[in-house]
Structure 1
Amino acid sequence: KNNDFYTDSAGRSFDSGGQGRHAMESQFDAKSIEAQRFAKDLCAKLRQAALQNRFEKLYVVAAPAFLGVLRECLDDNAKTRIAGEIPKDVARQAPEDIRSKLPDYL
């Protein structure tokens, strides 16, 4: 949940024309910001590993939205090594469930 990224509850504000009060919402989507930060960290590690020839092929399994963020930050050297992508969110699944979703050749 987006609220899990914040330590405090939302602030309160008065309506501009009356006695009503309401919670103020954050202008930032913490979940999206955290996903972008994680993607940049991952891309930096993949960039370094590709430069050191630590892998020839890369198969990426990620939620579709995160896969898009990842594509944006990968450098060309790492992108050319992507042998396949599987747009599935498997982060909370057991290893045997993830394995069942992957092609046999992986």
Structure 2
Amino acid sequence: MNNPHFIMPKVRIVVADASRARLFSTDSPKGDLTEVDTLLNPEARLHDGDLTTDRPGRQADSMNGGRSAMEEHTEPKEVEAQKFARELADNLEHSRNQGQVEKLYIAAPPKFLGELRKHMKPELKAIVAEEIGKDLSQMNPREMRKHFPERIK
């Protein structure tokens, strides 16, 4: 049924990895993707050694005859990915609170997608229409569009 008064919900398509998130919109269910915003995390592209010079101390571990880290160690790139996932989730939550987004489609590598989910509030998770666990970040919008449902609504 063609309804001339049909109003497209406020949809955002998020294509992200640990270093960049691209946000797209579309003006029709089968329409092309239009990039509306980009969030960057340049630290994700640095080598671990460039991110930190402070390593946890080590001590002798007489029980195992070896050495162990005095604290749990998380790789610096992983820490940066976690920060970026939180920043992206906060950005999307802000857009949702402002009434700018009513439905989300998200594509990201599985590890980053999982990290993003950890930082999403239940209200934000509730508007996610589809998640794609693939890295589409290097594709152009026309190539990306093929990975999302034919009708985005």
TM-score, normalization: structure 2?
0.51
Q: Does 1:92 align with 2:135?
A: no
Query: 1:3 maps to which residue?
Result: 47
Percent sequence identity over aligned pairs: 34
Q: Does 1:75 align with 2:121?
A: yes
Q: Does 1:104 align with 2:150?
A: yes
Aligned-CA RMSD value: 2.6
How many residues align structurally?
A: 91
How far apart, CA to CA, are the structure 2 residues paired with 1:56 and 1:64? 23
Flag the structure with higher helix content. 1
Would the aligned equivalents of 2:104 and 2:128 in 1 still touch at CA under 8 Å? yes
What CA deviation, in whole Å up to 9, does each residue of 1:30-71 have, x standing for no partner?
221111111111111111111122111111111111110010
1:63 aligns with: 109
In the TM superposition, residue 80 of structure 1 has moved relative to its aligned partner by 0.8
Gaps of 5+ in 1: 10-26
Q: Distance in 2 between matches of 1:83 and 1:105?
A: 12
Alignment-mate amino acid for residue 95 of structure 1: P
Report the TM-score, using the length of structure 1 for normalisation. Answer: 0.71
| Shift in Å, 1:90 | 1.1
Change in CA separation of 1:72 and 1:82 when aligned onto 2, cut-off 3 Å = same
Q: Matched residues in 2 for 1:84 and 1:4: separation? A: 33
Kindly provide the CA deviation profile for residues 14-37 of structure 1, in whole angstroms up to 9, marking residues without a partner as x: xxxxxxxxxxxxx54222111111
Aligned to 1:85, the other structure's residue is in SS state strand
- The DSSP-based 3-state class of the residue aligned with 1:58 is strand
